[in-house]
Structure 1
């Protein structure tokens, strides 16, 4: 069920909630995504109350502030948790959402578990070269939603994403009409600023304050003819600092990870969530 929630700090978020009785999972999406990016994981973890939401500046949530960063988005997540009166949440983050979830987990006691899906890695210059050119599409205008969807289809299928009704729904949700043309709902400057904040992330300052079980998934698949978004060695510092961590690797690339159905990864997540210290 989708609904708008206004938090104690006065921010309005669009959230999508599905019921379950095994605890509450809160999913944070990637840099240019929205709550629909986590659709497959929300469906798969149907035993859990699962809340996905549009991060500020994305989808149907409020615009992001002028100083937004992974840090401010982490505070927003804590604000949302407090406003919804959620106790002992499981935080699941993909890409940028992994940085956000990790920072939030370091600032809030009583986190049951932390799941990092190919995110919170050490971004390098190769990451910048992969991400920044892809943000140009946020500046474009289109004559119709169909035109936008066609360009998105070309982009995503090149990256190995299976195109179907789900992807149509994802890309059409992320656009709006503006002066007779259609464009992405997100402000390009906000997205670029949030991306640059990846480089401020210090695993030693964050993971040292996280005491719950952590699941880290690394996606090693290349993006087109390029390498992965985050190199495997970019996760070394997290692995060294985290005290209670389970790691896994998938040959899927960063986008296939969320936009294609991933039964093996779902199985690994279910195994992680079933371990005694997460269930208790």
Structure 2
């Protein structure tokens, strides 16, 4: 069920919640995404109460503040957890959401488990060269939702994403009408600023203070002929710093990881969540 939630600190988020009785997962999406990016994980982990949400500046949540960063978004996540009275959350983050979830877990001792889906490592210049050119699409205007969806289909299918009704729903949710034209709901400057904050992340400081079980999945699939978004060696400090970590690798690329069904990854997540430290 989708609804708006205004937190104790006065921020309004759009959240999508599905019921379950094995604990509460709260999922944070990627840089230019929204809650629908986590659809397949929310669908598959149906035994859990699963809450996905639009990070500030995305989807139908409030705009992000002018100083937004992975750090402020982590505080927002903690504010949302406090408002929803989630006692022992399982934090799941994809891409930027992984950075946010890791910082939040560092600040919240009662985190039950942390799931990092291709994020919370060290971004390098190759990451910047992959991401920044792609943000130009946020500044473009389109004549109709159909026009936007057609352009998005070309982009995503070129990245190996299976196009179908779910992807149509994802891309149509992320746009709005403005002055007779259609454009992405996200402000390009906010997105660029949030991306640059990836480079402030210190995995050896953040992960060393996280004592709950951690699951780290890295995606090695290439984005076209440009390699993966995050290099495997960029996760070395994350793996070294975390005291209780399970790692896995997928040959899917960064976008296939969330926009295509991933039954093997789901099996690994279920195995991780079934270990006694998480179940306790």
- After TM superposition, the score normalised by the length of structure 1 is 1.00
SS at match of 1:249: strand
Matching residue of 2:89:
89
Aligned position for 2:6: 6
Unaligned runs of 5+ in 1: none
Distance 2:223 2:155 in 1: 11
* Equivalent residues in 2 for 1:119-130, closer than 5 Å: 119-130=119-130
State the partner residue of 1:201.
201
Alpha-carbon offset, residue 13 of structure 1: 0.0
Cα distance in 2 for partners of 1:109, 1:177 equals 42
Question: Which whole-Å CA distance do the structure 1 matches of 2:209 and 2:218 have between them?
Answer: 22
Q: Which deviates more from structure 2 when the two are superposed, residues 13-22 or residues 201-210?
A: 201-210
| Pairs aligned (count) | 280
List structure 1 segments (4+ residues) > 2 angstroms apart after TM superposition. Answer: none
1:209 shift after superposition: 0.9
Following superposition of structure 1 onto structure 2, how do residues 69-108 of structure 1 map, counting pairs within 5 Å? 69-108=69-108
CA distance in 2, matches of 1:208, 1:269: 22
Q: Distance in 2 between matches of 1:207 and 1:112?
A: 14
Q: Is residue 66 of structure 1 aligned with residue 66 of structure 2?
A: yes
| Match runs of 1:136-147 below 5 Å | 136-147=136-147
Residue 238 of structure 2 corresponds to which residue in structure 1? 238
- Structure 2 residue matching 1:206: 3-state secondary structure: helix
* Long gaps (5+) in structure 2: none
The alignment's C-alpha RMSD in Å is 0.3
* Aligned mates of 2:137, 2:74 — CA distance in 1: 26
Q: Which residue in 1 is equivalent to 2:221?
A: 221
Separation (CA, whole Å) in 2 of partners of 1:133 and 1:204: 29
Match of 2:166 in 1: 166
Deviations 1:186-227 (A, max 9, x none): 000000000000000001110111000000000000001110
Q: Deviations over 1:119-177 (max 9, x none)?
A: 01110000000000000000000000000000000000000000000000000000000
- The secondary structure found in structure 2 opposite 1:9 is coil
Aligned to 2:189: 189
